[in-house]
Amino acid sequence: MAPLKASADAIAVAARVSRFTYAIRNIVAEAKKVEAAGLRVRYLNIGDPVAFGFKTPPHLIAAVERALRDGHNGYGPSPGIEPAREAVAAEYTARGFPASADRVFLTAGTSEGIDLALGALVDEGSEVLVPMPTYPLYTAVIARFGARALYYRTDPERGWAPDLDHLRSLVTPSTRVLVVIDPNNPTGASYSVATRRALLEVADRYGLAILADEVYGDLGFDGQVAPLGSLEPDAPIVSLSSLSKAYLAPGWRTGWMTVGRSPRLNDVVKAVAKLADGRLCSTVPMQYAVAAALTGDRSHQVLFRAALRERAALTVERLNAMPGVTCVAPTAAFYVMPRVALPPGRTDQDYVHALLGATGVLTVYGSGFGTAPEDGYLRIVYLAPPEELGEIYDLMAEFTAEYLRG
Ligand SMILES: Cc1ncc(COP(=O)(O)O)c(C=O)c1O
């Protein structure tokens, strides 16, 4: 072989990578620097209950263990194992959104569901309506497909409910999908029935498919939140969820997609099946936990919801007591999106980095979810135990007072 050409040129990276951003993890690099400098970092950036001591229910672990021992270690069917698909279909049906197992796909978390669903629904140049603020994987995946995200405002003055007039004003002939994240990350909101009906009406009026992210559907503080499809079982809804949040197993990367019964979605089912074939299957042993989760004991959720409600109340009280900080009370999940009244010229990233550098408290700047940098939003994951949250908010209060004094 001829000697390698001595070229100083780096191998080029695809341009689309620069459009793919995911602030929730990107910011960890900053935290590692702070840690290396000797400061204890409190990681309030990632919504992982297990990292804060919540335990995966033992009967789910037993189901996976059994699957491993029983030799379920080969490839599985691309759409998922039958008992898991049946359990998911039965779960949706029981909750008012009639579903059949042949329209259920087991996925590597909600995340892969987002990828498969958008892969089946959008072309280059298609537009997708996403809430603002949003869970950033939507915009990242939309960008990767060469499609365009249209941000519809959600309004902190109204408990972060979608601004329906703004939503309607964005629709063009290229708009294909309406993404609804309810309960919501990053705001912790859950929507009223009236709001949900209005979203369904918008989708119907403009012929849009609905991508319903319902991964926090079991984590309303007052109990389960019904799937969006229960309000209109014939609407063209694709619902996504997983074991990550409400079943306390995010590392298993196991979730599901349920395509509604609307015949308008028949081609979408075929398209998703085709895409799913290409990735062979999602992790097989973990799929054995799905039926265990959906048909077994869910008492852990009662305790989890109570813990979340308590931590949310503490969080909202402490944040609103800080001069210059306002926080809308969440009604579900484990996030809040407070706002800091920043001095002119400062951005949410400036504040979040300064807070991290001074106190070790790691949050995520709102602009990572689509809010304007000067608006001063940040997202806090409040899964830490109440005593630790108390310490964290002490640090934050002292720092913020100083910061806002300039
Ligand atoms: C709204 C939303 N969708 C999807 C995901 C991804 O979850 P999964 O672990 O199921 O892929 C998350 C994780 O934080 C989320 O908040």
Looking at the chain, the whole-number percentage of residues with pLDDT higher than 70 is: 100
Higher pLDDT, 96 or 26: 96
pLDDT band (50, 70, 90) for residue 16: confident
Instruction: Give the separation between CA 147 and CA 119, rounded to whole angstroms.
Output: 10
Mean pLDDT on 286-307 = 97
Indicate the top mutation candidate among 48, 118, 134, 137 to test ligand 1's pocket, ranked by most ligand atoms within 8 A of CB.
137
Question: Over 90: is that where the pLDDT of 242 sits?
Answer: yes
Our answer on whether the CB atom of 244 is closer than 6 Å to any ligand 1 atom is: yes
Our answer on whether the CB atom of 393 is closer than 6 Å to any ligand 1 atom is: no
Give 183's contacts (C-beta < 8 A, 6+ positions apart).
Answer: 189, 190, 216, 217, 219, 220, 225, 331, 332, 333
CA of 181 to the centre of ligand 1 (A): 10
CA of 221 to the centre of ligand 1 (A): 18
Tokens of 311: 């931590």
Domains of the chain: 15-54+300-405 (3.90.1150.10), 58-295 (3.40.640.10)
CA of 216 to the centre of ligand 1 (A): 9
Mean pLDDT on 90-105 = 98
The tens digit of pLDDT for each residue in 337-352 reads: 999 999 999 999 999 9
- CA distances from residue 390 to 143, 315, 354, 358 in whole angstroms, order as listed: 39, 8, 20, 17
Question: Over 70: is that where the pLDDT of 30 sits?
Answer: yes
Higher pLDDT, 4 or 100: 100
Residue 151 buriedness (CB in 10 A; 0-12 / 13-18 / 19+): middle
pLDDT averaged over the chain? 96
Give 56's contacts (C-beta < 8 A, 6+ positions apart).
Answer: 50, 247, 248, 249
CA angle, 143 then 147 then 153, to 5°: 80
pLDDT band (50, 70, 90) for residue 197: very high
Q: Which atom of ligand 1 is nearest to the CA of 108?
A: 11
Instruction: Give the separation between CA 228 and CA 209, rounded to whole angstroms.
Output: 13
Tokens of 133: 């603020």
| Predicted pLDDT at 19 | 79
| Predicted pLDDT at 21 | 76
CA of 403 to the centre of ligand 1 (A): 32
pLDDT band (50, 70, 90) for residue 260: very high
| Predicted pLDDT at 7 | 67
The string of DSSP letters for 53-67 reads TPPPPHHHHHHHHHH
The tens digit of pLDDT for each residue in 270-283 reads: 999 999 999 999 99
The tens digit of pLDDT for each residue in 298-310 reads: 999 999 999 999 9
Our answer on whether the CB atom of 257 is closer than 6 Å to any ligand 1 atom is: no
Q: Which atom of ligand 1 is nearest to the CA of 250?
A: 9
Our answer on whether the CB atom of 45 is closer than 6 Å to any ligand 1 atom is: no
pLDDT band (50, 70, 90) for residue 2: confident
Cα R_g (the chain), whole angstroms: 22
| Predicted pLDDT at 61 | 98
Mean pLDDT on 314-335 = 98
Our answer on whether the CB atom of 255 is closer than 6 Å to any ligand 1 atom is: yes
Mean pLDDT on 350-371 = 96
Tokens of 175: 């708009």
Give 13's contacts (C-beta < 8 A, 6+ positions apart).
Answer: none
Of the listed ranges 5-14, 78-87, 248-257, the least confidently predicted one is 5-14
